[in-house]
Amino acid sequence: MSFLRRPVVLMVLGFVFLALGGIAFASRDTKKVDSADATRCEFPPCRASANPVPARGYEGAYVAADPADPDHVVVSDANVLETRCGFHTTFDRGKDWIDGFYDLPPGYTGCRINGPSGGHVASGSVAMGSGGKVYSVFGSAHADDERRESVLVATSNDGGRSFGPAKVAIRPTAPEIGLGRPLMTVVPGNNGPDTVLLSAWTCHPAAQPGAAGGTQCDGAIFARSDDGGQTYSDPVVVNDPPAGQNPSQPAMDRDGVVYMTFQRRFSDGPVELYLAKSTDGGKTFAHSVLDRQIQIGQQYDPAKLIADPLTGNLYTVWADSRTGRFQIFFRKSLDKGVSWGERSVLLAPDRAATGASRSPSMSLAPNGRIDIVYYHTSPDPEAQVFDEVYWTYSTDAGENFIARQVNEAPIDRGKGYSGPLGALGQLGNHYPPGVASVDAAAYVVWSDTREANPVTNSQDVLLRRMPVLGAGALPP
C-alpha cells in the first residue's frame, strides 16, 4: 500500500505580461523574441519553429538539450495539418530555427493521425547521443500494411541540422498488429557506438462484441541497437500474460540492467503498474508490481522511468486518482527496483493539491537534478477548458521538490486541435509536455493555442528555458 508524503515545495510564482514573439526566420512576422542571449526563451518563451504559415498545427512534442552546449536544442513533433513528423533545431537558444520533416523509406505514408495502431499523433521521443548524433523515433505505416504503423528511427550526424532517411526499427509483428506510441532512450557511447533502446505497444482490432472498428492495445515490446541505430534486435514482448499497456520508455543503469514500466488494466478492477527488469540486455524480463490504484494514467498516459548513471537510483513518475482526482506521484528505488520505499511523493502546484494534474514527463540533468513537468487544470468549474504547465525539480534525489509554473497564460484547449480533457478534439489531449535537462536549467516544451483565432486555429509548440534557483537570473 502506498502512503502520501508531501515534499517541501517552494512555489516561485509570477507571470510575464509580454506578448509572445514569433521566430525571426519569418519576415512577415513583426513580433520578435527578446534578443538578449541571457534571457532568450525565458521571458517570453519561444515558438519552437520558423514556420511562417498562419494556420499551424503541432502536437506531440519532445525535446533534447546538449549538456555541452546548452544553446543547442532539438525539438521533435508532428505537424498534424500535413500528417508528417519532423524536427526543429536551434543552436542559439531559439533565435533561429532549422525546420524539417523526416525522410521516409519507400512506401511509408507519413505520421498518420488517429491510425489504428494506438492512434492519434505518432511522434515519439528525441535524444542526443555522442559525436553530434541525434536520434528521433516515430511511427509510420507502409502502404502494404494497411495503415498499421511500424517504428522508425531517424538519425542526424550533425547535431540536428539534417536527418538521414529514417530506418525501420520494428515492423508489425503479426498480420493484424500495429505498433503505437514508440519511445526511446539513448545511452551515449563514450568509446564506441551509442546504444538505442526502444519501446512501443502492440495494437490490434478489438475483439469484444460490438467493438467493430475499435482498437485494443495489450502488449508492451522492447528492441535495442548496439551499433548507433544501424541495426535493431528483434522485438521482445516485455509483459507476461494477460496484457501490458502504456509502456514507459526503457531505462538502462550503469551495470547494463534494462528496465521498463507497463500498466495492466482490468475492466472490473484497479489498474496495476508493473516494473519489468532484464539482466540479460532485454532478452527476457522479470516483473513486479510497483503500485496498484483505482486508475493509473488517463488513457495514453504512461509512467516515466529514469536510471541515474551516477548513483544507480531508479526514478519513476505517473498520474493516478487515489485522492479522488488525478495527481502526480513520484517514487524511487535505491536497489535496482527490488524495493521502492513505503511512500509515494505527491507533486502538486500547491500544498492543498487542488485541481487535477496529468501527463508527466521526466528528465535527469548531468549533475543528478530530477526535472518533472506536467499539465494541471484548476478546480474552478469555469477553468476546465484551460491547461497550465508546471515544472518541479529536486536536487536531493527526490527528497524535496521545488515547483514553478511554466506557461505565462492559460492554454485554451477550446482552440487548436487537442481539446480539453472532458471534450477531446480531433487529436485527443493525450500528449505530455516535454523536458530536457542541463545543469543550470530545464528546457520545457508544450502545445499552446495562444495565437489561435477563428480563422487560423493555430496550435504551436512553445519552448521555455527554466533556470534552476541559484543558477542565474530567474524569469518572472
Residue 343 lies in a domain: no
C-alpha distances (whole Å) from 4 to each of 37, 244, 328, 344 are 42, 26, 11, 5
* Pairing assessment for the beta strands 343-347 and 3-5 based on DSSP bridges: parallel
pLDDT in tens, 324-373: 999 999 999 999 999 998 778 999 988 888 899 999 999 999 999 999 99
Q: What is the pLDDT of residue 421?
A: 55
What CATH number corresponds to the domain at position 163? Answer: 2.120.10.10
Average pLDDT over residues 205-213: 52
Q: Do 172 and 145 form a contact (C-beta atoms < 8 A)?
A: yes
Decide if 127 is inside a domain: yes
State the residue for C-alpha cell 469484444.
208
In angstroms, the CA 32 to CA 266 distance is: 51
Domain-located, residue 290: no
Residue 61 lies in a domain: yes
User: Distance (Å, rounded) from C-alpha 326 to C-alpha 69?
Assistant: 37
Cα(416)–Cα(413) distance, rounded to whole angstroms?
A: 7
What's the domain count of the chain?
Answer: 1
pLDDT at 28: 30
Pick from 151-165, 274-288, 420-434: least confident: 420-434
Is residue 277 within 8 Å of 265, Cβ to Cβ?
no
**In a domain? residue 179:** yes
Tell me the pLDDT tens digit for each residue of 384-440: 889 999 999 999 999 999 999 999 999 999 898 887 655 545 565 568 999 999 999
Look at residue 103 in the predicted model and tell me its pLDDT: 97
Per-residue model confidence (pLDDT) at position 448: 96
Share of the chain above pLDDT 90, in %: 67
> 3-state DSSP call for residue 383?
helix
Range of the domain at 132: 57-237
Query: Would you place residue 265 in the very low, low, confident or very high pLDDT band (cuts 50, 70, 90)?
Result: confident
CA distance 122 to 399: 35
What is the predicted pLDDT for the residue at 97? Answer: 98
Interior angle at CA 138, CA 285 and CA 316, nearest 5: 45
Segment of 243-247, 300-304, 341-345, 407-411 carrying the highest mean pLDDT: 407-411
- Contact (CB, 8 A) for 26 and 50: yes
Beta-carbon contacts of 106 under 8 Å, excluding residues fewer than 6 positions away, are none
Q: pLDDT-derived band of residue 228, with 50, 70 and 90 as boundaries?
A: very high
Asked if the structure places residue 209 within a domain, the reply is yes
User: Rounded to an integer, what distance in angstroms lies between the CA atom of residue 34 and that of residue 40?
Assistant: 6
Mean pLDDT of 176-201: 93
How confident is the model over 204-231, as a mean pLDDT? 78
CB 20 within 8 A of CB 40: no
What's the start-to-end Cα distance of the chain, in Å? 40
The pTM of the whole model exceeds 0.95:
no
* Residues 6+ away with beta carbon under 8 Å from 272: 263, 264, 266, 289, 291, 292, 296
Sequence-distant (6+) residues with CB within 8 A of 200 are 139, 151, 170, 179, 180, 181, 182, 183, 220, 221, 235, 247
Mean pLDDT of the chain: 86
- Let me know if residue 163 belongs to a domain: yes
465 and 441 Cβ atoms separated by less than 8 Å? yes
Return the pLDDT at 381.
Answer: 83
Q: Does the residue 458 lie in any domain?
A: no
Q: Please give the DSSP secondary-structure letter assigned to residue 43.
A: S
